[in-house]
Amino acid sequence: MPEDYFGEHVAELYDQDAEMFDPAVVDPVVDFLVELAGDGAALELGIGTGRIAIPLAERGIRVHGIDLSEAMLARLRAKPGTDQIDITVGDFSTTTVEGTFSLAYLVFNTIGNLTTQGAQVACFQNVATHLEPGGCFVIEVGIPNLRRLPPGETMRVFHASQAHWGIDEYDVANQGLTSHHFELVDGRFERLSIPFRYTWPAELDLMAQLGGMRLRERWSGWRREPFTSDSRKHVSVWEKPAA
Protein backbone atom coordinates (compact mmCIF):
# COMPACT_ATOMS: atom_id res chain seq x y z
CA MET A 1 0.00 0.00 0.00
CA PRO A 2 1.28 3.54 -0.74
CA GLU A 3 1.92 5.90 2.14
CA ASP A 4 -1.14 7.72 3.48
CA TYR A 5 -0.44 11.47 3.61
CA PHE A 6 -4.03 12.31 4.55
CA GLY A 7 -4.09 11.12 8.13
CA GLU A 8 -5.81 12.57 11.17
CA HIS A 9 -3.97 15.90 11.08
CA VAL A 10 -5.14 16.60 7.53
CA ALA A 11 -8.61 15.09 7.96
CA GLU A 12 -9.51 17.24 10.97
CA LEU A 13 -8.85 20.42 8.95
CA TYR A 14 -10.00 19.33 5.51
CA ASP A 15 -13.65 20.37 5.77
CA GLN A 16 -12.67 23.79 7.10
CA ASP A 17 -11.61 24.95 3.65
CA ALA A 18 -14.56 27.26 3.01
CA GLU A 19 -13.53 28.07 -0.56
CA MET A 20 -13.27 24.44 -1.63
CA PHE A 21 -16.68 23.59 -0.11
CA ASP A 22 -18.38 26.75 -1.41
CA PRO A 23 -21.54 25.78 -3.37
CA ALA A 24 -20.30 28.05 -6.18
CA VAL A 25 -17.34 25.67 -6.51
CA VAL A 26 -19.09 22.36 -5.80
CA ASP A 27 -22.34 22.80 -7.76
CA PRO A 28 -20.78 23.05 -11.26
CA VAL A 29 -18.78 19.87 -10.56
CA VAL A 30 -21.89 17.98 -9.51
CA ASP A 31 -23.93 19.29 -12.45
CA PHE A 32 -21.22 18.12 -14.86
CA LEU A 33 -20.97 14.66 -13.30
CA VAL A 34 -24.73 14.14 -13.02
CA GLU A 35 -25.07 14.76 -16.74
CA LEU A 36 -22.42 12.16 -17.55
CA ALA A 37 -23.66 9.56 -15.07
CA GLY A 38 -27.18 9.55 -16.47
CA ASP A 39 -29.12 6.66 -14.94
CA GLY A 40 -25.98 4.78 -13.96
CA ALA A 41 -23.74 4.62 -10.93
CA ALA A 42 -20.58 6.60 -10.23
CA LEU A 43 -17.20 5.50 -8.87
CA GLU A 44 -15.16 8.17 -7.08
CA LEU A 45 -11.44 7.58 -6.72
CA GLY A 46 -10.14 9.39 -3.64
CA ILE A 47 -13.58 10.06 -2.15
CA GLY A 48 -12.13 11.73 0.95
CA THR A 49 -14.73 13.27 3.26
CA GLY A 50 -17.40 13.32 0.56
CA ARG A 51 -17.13 16.87 -0.77
CA ILE A 52 -18.43 15.74 -4.19
CA ALA A 53 -19.91 12.32 -3.41
CA ILE A 54 -22.51 13.57 -0.92
CA PRO A 55 -24.16 16.20 -3.15
CA LEU A 56 -23.91 13.76 -6.07
CA ALA A 57 -25.77 11.13 -4.05
CA GLU A 58 -28.33 13.75 -3.07
CA ARG A 59 -29.01 14.21 -6.78
CA GLY A 60 -29.98 10.54 -7.04
CA ILE A 61 -26.69 9.06 -8.28
CA ARG A 62 -25.54 5.84 -6.61
CA VAL A 63 -21.93 6.45 -5.54
CA HIS A 64 -19.18 4.03 -4.58
CA GLY A 65 -15.94 5.54 -3.29
CA ILE A 66 -12.40 4.27 -2.85
CA ASP A 67 -9.89 5.94 -0.53
CA LEU A 68 -6.71 5.03 1.29
CA SER A 69 -7.24 7.34 4.28
CA GLU A 70 -9.18 5.83 7.18
CA ALA A 71 -9.20 9.24 8.86
CA MET A 72 -10.89 10.93 5.90
CA LEU A 73 -13.39 8.09 5.53
CA ALA A 74 -14.29 8.22 9.21
CA ARG A 75 -15.44 11.79 8.73
CA LEU A 76 -17.39 10.82 5.64
CA ARG A 77 -19.19 8.04 7.51
CA ALA A 78 -20.09 10.43 10.35
CA LYS A 79 -21.98 12.79 8.06
CA PRO A 80 -25.76 12.52 7.66
CA GLY A 81 -27.12 10.93 4.50
CA THR A 82 -24.01 8.93 3.70
CA ASP A 83 -25.43 5.50 4.50
CA GLN A 84 -26.30 5.09 0.80
CA ILE A 85 -22.69 5.68 -0.29
CA ASP A 86 -20.61 2.51 -0.58
CA ILE A 87 -17.01 2.79 0.62
CA THR A 88 -13.95 0.65 -0.01
CA VAL A 89 -10.60 1.26 1.69
CA GLY A 90 -7.62 0.88 -0.62
CA ASP A 91 -5.26 2.21 -3.26
CA PHE A 92 -7.55 3.42 -6.05
CA SER A 93 -5.03 2.54 -8.75
CA THR A 94 -5.48 -1.18 -8.09
CA THR A 95 -8.45 -1.71 -5.74
CA THR A 96 -11.48 -3.31 -7.38
CA VAL A 97 -15.12 -3.17 -6.31
CA GLU A 98 -18.22 -5.06 -7.33
CA GLY A 99 -20.40 -3.86 -10.17
CA THR A 100 -19.91 -1.61 -13.16
CA PHE A 101 -20.32 2.14 -13.53
CA SER A 102 -21.36 4.65 -16.15
CA LEU A 103 -18.99 7.20 -14.62
CA ALA A 104 -15.67 7.23 -12.75
CA TYR A 105 -14.02 10.44 -11.62
CA LEU A 106 -10.92 11.91 -9.97
CA VAL A 107 -11.13 15.57 -8.92
CA PHE A 108 -8.92 18.26 -7.39
CA ASN A 109 -5.54 17.01 -8.64
CA THR A 110 -5.96 13.60 -6.99
CA ILE A 111 -4.39 11.75 -9.94
CA GLY A 112 -1.11 13.34 -8.80
CA ASN A 113 -1.29 11.43 -5.50
CA LEU A 114 -0.14 8.46 -7.55
CA THR A 115 3.54 9.35 -7.63
CA THR A 116 4.77 7.04 -10.41
CA GLN A 117 3.83 6.81 -14.04
CA GLY A 118 3.21 3.09 -13.61
CA ALA A 119 0.64 3.70 -10.87
CA GLN A 120 -1.13 6.31 -12.98
CA VAL A 121 -1.29 3.94 -15.96
CA ALA A 122 -2.63 1.22 -13.65
CA CYS A 123 -5.33 3.63 -12.47
CA PHE A 124 -6.61 4.14 -16.02
CA GLN A 125 -6.61 0.40 -16.61
CA ASN A 126 -8.42 -0.21 -13.33
CA VAL A 127 -11.07 2.36 -14.24
CA ALA A 128 -11.55 0.81 -17.66
CA THR A 129 -12.38 -2.56 -16.10
CA HIS A 130 -15.08 -0.92 -13.95
CA LEU A 131 -16.73 1.17 -16.68
CA GLU A 132 -19.68 0.01 -18.68
CA PRO A 133 -19.39 0.29 -22.48
CA GLY A 134 -19.93 3.95 -23.27
CA GLY A 135 -18.97 4.94 -19.72
CA CYS A 136 -16.77 7.95 -18.98
CA PHE A 137 -13.72 8.71 -16.84
CA VAL A 138 -13.30 12.32 -15.68
CA ILE A 139 -10.16 13.91 -14.27
CA GLU A 140 -9.69 17.45 -12.94
CA VAL A 141 -6.03 18.37 -12.61
CA GLY A 142 -3.82 21.44 -12.81
CA ILE A 143 -1.41 22.22 -15.60
CA PRO A 144 2.19 22.16 -14.30
CA ASN A 145 3.21 25.77 -13.73
CA LEU A 146 6.69 25.39 -15.16
CA ARG A 147 6.39 28.50 -17.33
CA ARG A 148 6.67 30.58 -14.14
CA LEU A 149 9.69 28.67 -12.83
CA PRO A 150 12.95 30.50 -13.69
CA PRO A 151 15.85 28.35 -14.93
CA GLY A 152 17.80 26.87 -12.05
CA GLU A 153 15.04 27.40 -9.47
CA THR A 154 12.87 24.66 -7.98
CA MET A 155 10.48 26.51 -5.64
CA ARG A 156 7.38 28.57 -6.28
CA VAL A 157 5.03 30.14 -3.72
CA PHE A 158 1.41 29.38 -4.61
CA HIS A 159 -0.24 30.84 -1.49
CA ALA A 160 0.85 33.37 1.11
CA SER A 161 -1.12 34.72 4.06
CA GLN A 162 -0.61 35.37 7.75
CA ALA A 163 -1.83 31.89 8.66
CA HIS A 164 -0.70 29.77 5.71
CA TRP A 165 2.17 29.59 3.26
CA GLY A 166 2.15 27.13 0.37
CA ILE A 167 5.30 26.37 -1.62
CA ASP A 168 5.57 23.95 -4.54
CA GLU A 169 8.94 22.26 -5.02
CA TYR A 170 9.54 20.86 -8.51
CA ASP A 171 11.73 17.93 -9.54
CA VAL A 172 11.53 18.50 -13.28
CA ALA A 173 13.70 15.54 -14.28
CA ASN A 174 11.25 13.13 -12.64
CA GLN A 175 7.98 15.06 -13.05
CA GLY A 176 7.88 15.34 -9.30
CA LEU A 177 6.14 18.01 -7.26
CA THR A 178 6.11 18.31 -3.48
CA SER A 179 3.62 20.75 -1.98
CA HIS A 180 4.84 22.20 1.30
CA HIS A 181 2.18 23.73 3.55
CA PHE A 182 3.17 25.88 6.53
CA GLU A 183 0.12 26.38 8.76
CA LEU A 184 -0.06 28.67 11.81
CA VAL A 185 -1.36 26.54 14.68
CA ASP A 186 -1.44 27.82 18.28
CA GLY A 187 1.11 30.51 17.55
CA ARG A 188 3.63 28.37 15.69
CA PHE A 189 3.97 27.15 12.12
CA GLU A 190 3.57 23.44 11.36
CA ARG A 191 4.74 21.94 8.08
CA LEU A 192 2.99 19.33 5.97
CA SER A 193 4.71 18.12 2.78
CA ILE A 194 2.84 15.97 0.25
CA PRO A 195 4.45 14.46 -2.88
CA PHE A 196 2.74 14.41 -6.27
CA ARG A 197 3.58 13.42 -9.82
CA TYR A 198 2.46 16.03 -12.31
CA THR A 199 1.23 15.08 -15.77
CA TRP A 200 0.55 16.70 -19.12
CA PRO A 201 -2.77 16.35 -20.97
CA ALA A 202 -1.17 14.42 -23.84
CA GLU A 203 0.39 11.98 -21.38
CA LEU A 204 -2.99 11.31 -19.80
CA ASP A 205 -4.50 10.79 -23.25
CA LEU A 206 -1.92 8.08 -23.89
CA MET A 207 -2.68 6.45 -20.54
CA ALA A 208 -6.35 6.41 -21.50
CA GLN A 209 -5.48 4.85 -24.85
CA LEU A 210 -3.49 2.12 -23.09
CA GLY A 211 -6.61 1.44 -21.02
CA GLY A 212 -8.82 1.19 -24.09
CA MET A 213 -10.43 4.61 -23.77
CA ARG A 214 -10.42 7.69 -26.00
CA LEU A 215 -10.68 11.42 -25.36
CA ARG A 216 -14.24 12.69 -25.61
CA GLU A 217 -13.87 16.30 -24.45
CA ARG A 218 -11.49 18.62 -22.60
CA TRP A 219 -12.29 21.91 -20.88
CA SER A 220 -10.49 24.37 -18.64
CA GLY A 221 -13.26 24.23 -16.00
CA TRP A 222 -16.46 22.54 -14.93
CA ARG A 223 -18.61 25.11 -16.75
CA ARG A 224 -17.07 23.92 -20.03
CA GLU A 225 -14.81 26.92 -20.51
CA PRO A 226 -12.58 26.42 -23.57
CA PHE A 227 -9.22 24.78 -22.97
CA THR A 228 -6.36 26.94 -24.27
CA SER A 229 -2.59 27.23 -24.04
CA ASP A 230 -3.08 29.56 -21.05
CA SER A 231 -5.44 27.30 -19.08
CA ARG A 232 -4.32 26.65 -15.51
CA LYS A 233 -6.11 23.32 -15.24
CA HIS A 234 -8.16 20.94 -17.34
CA VAL A 235 -11.26 18.83 -16.91
CA SER A 236 -10.90 15.90 -19.29
CA VAL A 237 -13.39 13.19 -20.20
CA TRP A 238 -12.34 9.87 -21.70
CA GLU A 239 -14.89 7.38 -22.96
CA LYS A 240 -14.84 3.60 -23.06
CA PRO A 241 -16.11 2.62 -26.51
CA ALA A 242 -19.57 1.13 -26.64
CA ALA A 243 -19.71 -2.58 -27.38
pLDDT digits (tens, 9 = 90+) for 10-44: 898 899 888 899 999 999 999 999 999 999 999 99
pLDDT tops 80 at residue 114: yes
Residue 62 belongs to what H/E stretch?
none
pLDDT tops 70 at residue 222: yes
DSSP code at position 225 = P
pLDDT tops 90 at residue 172: yes
Average pLDDT over residues 47-68: 98
Residue-level pLDDT at 97 = 98
Most confident listed range (12-16, 145-149, 200-204): 200-204
Q: Which residues contact 109 (CB under 8 A, 6 or more apart)?
A: 140, 141, 142, 196
Provide the pairing of β-strand 42-45 with 63-67.
parallel
Average pLDDT over residues 157-176: 95
Average pLDDT over residues 37-54: 98
User: What confidence category does residue 71 fall into, taking pLDDT thresholds of 50, 70 and 90?
Assistant: very high
Residue-level pLDDT at 3 = 85
Average pLDDT over residues 158-171: 95
- 3-class SS shares of the chain: helix, strand, coil, % to 5: 30, 35, 40
Q: Which residues contact 16 (CB under 8 A, 6 or more apart)?
A: none
Q: How far apart are CA 231 and CA 222, in angstroms?
A: 13
Q: Give the number of other Cβ atoms within 10 Å of residue 191's Cβ.
A: 10
- Quote the pTM value: 0.95
For the stretch 82-110, pLDDT in tens is 999 999 999 999 999 999 999 999 999 99
pLDDT tops 70 at residue 224: yes
User: What confidence category does residue 1 fall into, taking pLDDT thresholds of 50, 70 and 90?
Assistant: low
3-state secondary structure of 205: helix
Q: Rounded mean pLDDT of the chain? A: 96
Average pLDDT over residues 146-152: 92
Give strand ranges (E) for the chain: 42-45, 63-67, 86-89, 101-106, 131-142, 155-160, 164-171, 176-185, 188-197, 214-219, 233-239
